[in-house]
Structure 1
Amino acid sequence: MLTRLLLASSLAVAALPAAATTQDDIVRADVLPGWRDGGRHFAALRLQLAPEWKTYWRSPGEVGIPPEFDWSGSENLGSVRLHWPAPHVFTLNGMRTIGYRGVVVLPFEIEPLDPARPIRLQARVDLGVCRDICVPAALEFAADLPAEGTRDAAIAAALDSRPESGREAGLGRISCRVEPISDGLRLTAELDLPATGSDEVVVVESGSPSIWASEAVASRSGARLTAVSDMVGPGGAPFALDRAALTVTVLGDRRAVEIRGCPAP
C-alpha cells in the first residue's frame, strides 16, 4: 500500500500543472444514513467522481490503490462490513485495473455495540483516484445514524448490484490445486460455471492482507473456467493458505460472480 501511495504521489507531482486540481474538484463524499434492520444498520458512503476519473475496488489490480477505511473515531460501532457493488475492468496502456467511475455508492452494514443507543460515525477513507495521473485522496466523513430511518433506494440498488453468489450463478463445482513455487504458492482454480460474458477476468484473493496475489491468467473451455494466480507471503517466507478464506471473483461484461472458499480437488 505504501509503495502504491508513493508511486501515485510521485506521478501526481510530476504531472499536475502549476495550478493543481484540488481533491474537491476530483472526488467528494457524503454519507447516506440508511435504515435499521433488526440489530443491523445499513448505510453507505457515496463518492462523486469528476468526469473521466476513477477509483478502485478492494482488489484494484496491479497498479491500483485499494481503499482503506479507519472507523476508530466512531461511537457505538461494534463491527462494519462493506458490501462492494460489482466493479468495472479498465485497461490502459496494457495495464488492467478494477474499480468504479461516476457516482459510487458503497453500502456498509453496522453491528452496534448497544442496539439501544445511537450510532455516531466519525471515519476516514484513503483511496486512489486516477485519470491520466493518479492522486491519493483522504476523505473524512461523519454522520449520526437514525434509530430507525427509511429504506434508501440508492443503497438498495447498490446492494442489488453486488456480484452473484456461486449458487445464484449456477456454479456446479469449484476446486483449487496448490503447488509450491520459489517464493510462495501457485493456485489453480477450476470452476464449472456458465459464462459471465466475453473477456472474463478472474480475481483471486487470499483473505489475508499480508499475502500478495498476482493477476490471474484465465481461460475457458466450454463450461470449465480455469484461473492461475501466484501468491507470495511476507518476505517470500512459507505460509499456510486458508482455503476457507479464499475468494474467487469472476467479472464478465454481463454479470459478476463471487465465490467464498475453494476446496482441494
Structure 2
Amino acid sequence: MTTLLLAGGLTSAHPAHAAASNWITTDFSQLRLVTAHDSVTASGELEVGVQIRLGEGWKTYWRNPGDAGLPTSFDWSASRNVRNVALAWPAPKRIPFEGLDSYGYEDEVVFPVRLRAARPGESVRINLDVNYAVCKDICVPLGANVRLEIPAGVSDDGSVTRAHRALIRHFAARVPTRHSSDMDIVEASVAADSGGKILRLRAEARPSFDDLDVFVEGPADVFFGRPKIDLGDDPRTAVVELSIDGAGSADGTPQPLTITLVDGARAVERTVVPTH
C-alpha cells in the first residue's frame, strides 16, 4: 500500500517486517529497500540495497546527473539503531538526449549499502527518504519514503534473502573500484587550446580498451565537455580530451578531480590533480 504525498512524494504505509519494504509505485518507476539478512547479524553489519525499476524509456540519475537532471539523494537520519551507512554508486552510462548528455541508469539499478547496527542485539529500523528524478520526454521529480525493519535474532538465510544478496552484489560488482591492475589513469594535465582550456588524460588498460567512456567531476562552477577518445594504433592506451568551461575554469590553481573510467563491465574511479 502506498500513499500519495504533496510535492510528488510517496511513502510506505508502515515499516515492512520482512526481507524487503513495500514497493513505492508510480506510473514511471518502482522503488523499494531490500536486505540480504533475515535478522541482525551478530557483528551488526548489514547489506541492503535501494532498488529502482524504471518504465521503458525512462532513466534516473547518478550522483552527477550530467548536463540535465537531478542527482539522487538519500537521507537515513530517521532510522533507528543504524550507524556507519555507506552507499555505493554503480557506474553510470551516458544517455544522450537532444544534444545533452545525462549520466545515469535505465531499466533497473540497485544502490548497494553497507551499514551497522549501533546495538547488534536489537532490531534495526531503516527509515529512508529518497529524492530522485525520472526522465523520458519530460522529467518528474519524485520523493519516496521507504521503511524496513530487520529483527534481532538468528538468521535462517532463506531463499528470498539469498536472492536479494545476489541482486545487491550483482550491482556492487558494477561500482567503480579504486584499486585496479588492469585499467588506470597514468597522466592528467590541463592545457590551453584554441577554444579555451582542455583536460587531457592518458589511460592504460590490460588487455585493451573495448568501449571506454569517461566521467569527470570537479568544482561546482567548472564544466567538462563530452570526451574525445583516441585509441590510436594501440587499443591498450587511450588519450582523452575534454573541453573545460565555467567561471571556475579561469582559476589556474590545480584542483582535484574525480575521474571515472567505464569500459564495458569494468570501472575505475580515481582522484587526480592535473598538472598545468
TM above 0.5: yes
2:260 corresponding residue in structure 1: 249
Name the Cα RMSD after superposition. Answer: 3.4
- Secondary structure of 1:108 counterpart: strand
Matched, 1:153 2:166: yes
Assess if the C-alpha contact under 8 Å between 1:202 and 1:250 holds in 2: yes
**Residues 263 and 95 (structure 1 numbering): CA distance in 2 closer, same or farther, change over 3 Å?**
closer
Over 3 Å counting, the alpha-carbon distance change for 1:175 and 1:263 in structure 2 is farther
Gapped runs of 5+ residues in structure 1? 1-8, 10-22
Quote how far apart the aligned CAs of 1:248 are: 1.1
Q: Which position in structure 1 is the counterpart of 2:133?
A: 128
Q: 1:46 aligns with which of 48, 51, 56?
A: 51
**Does residue 1:218 correspond to 2:228, yes or no?**
yes
Q: CA deviation at 1:66?
A: 0.9
Q: Is the 8 A contact 1:54 1:102 kept in 2?
A: yes
1:20 is matched with which residue?
none
C-alpha displacement at 1:164, in angstroms? 4.8
In the alignment, what sits opposite 2:216? 204
Letter in 2 for 1:101: E
**2:36 maps to which of 30, 34, 37:** 34
Match of 2:80 in 1: 75
Any idea what SS the aligned residue of 1:167 has? coil
Do the aligned partners of residues 153 and 255 (structure 1) sit closer, same or farther apart at CA in structure 2, a change above 3 Å counting? closer
Tell me, yes or no, if the aligned pair for 2:112 and 2:168 is still in contact at 8 Å.
yes
Q: Does residue 163 of the first structure (1) align with residue 176 of the second (2)? A: yes
2-structure distance, mates of 1:50, 1:130: 10
After TM superposition, the runs of 4+ consecutive aligned structure 1 residues lying more than 6 A away are none
For residues 92-131 of structure 1, what are the structure 2 equivalents within 5 Å? Answer: 92-131=97-136
SS in 1 for 2:168: helix
Task: Decide whether aligned partners of structure 1 residues 247 and 145 sit closer, same or farther in structure 2, where only a CA change above 3 A counts.
Answer: farther
Cα shift at 1:114: 3.4
How far apart in 1 are the matches of 2:177 and 2:229? Answer: 20
1:162-190 Cα deviation digits (max 9, x unpaired): 3355524333x523325799xxx964433
Residue 25 (structure 1) aligned to one of 24, 27, 41: 27
Spell out, residue by residue over 1:141-199, the C-alpha distance to the aligned partner (whole angstroms, 9 max, x if none): 1111355654422112111233355524333x523325799xxx96443323355434x
1:261 to 2:274 alignment: no
Distance 2:113 2:247 in 1: 29
Higher helix share: 1
Equivalent in the alignment of 1:174: 186
- 1:58 is aligned, of 41, 58, 63, to 63
| 1:259 Cα deviation from its structure 2 partner | 2.3
Counterpart AA for 2:272? C
Q: Which amino acid aligns with 2:260?
A: T
Tell me the distance in 2 between the aligned counterparts of 1:225 and 1:166.
21
Q: Who is 2:3 aligned against?
A: none
2:30–2:54 Cα contact (<8 Å) kept: yes
What is the distance in 2 between the residues matched to 1:28 and 1:164?
Answer: 28
Higher-Rg member (1/2): 2
Given that 1:76 and 1:113 are in contact with CA atoms closer than 8 Å, whether structure 2 keeps it comes out as yes
Correspondent of 2:201 among 179, 182, 189: 189
Number of matched residues?
235
Report the equivalent of 2:147. 142
What secondary structure is seen at the aligned counterpart in 1 of 2:128?
strand
Secondary structure (helix, strand or coil) at the match of 1:163 reads: coil
Structure-1 separation of matches of 2:147 and 2:252: 39
**Offset at 1:48?**
1.9
TM-score w.r.t. length of structure 1:
0.73
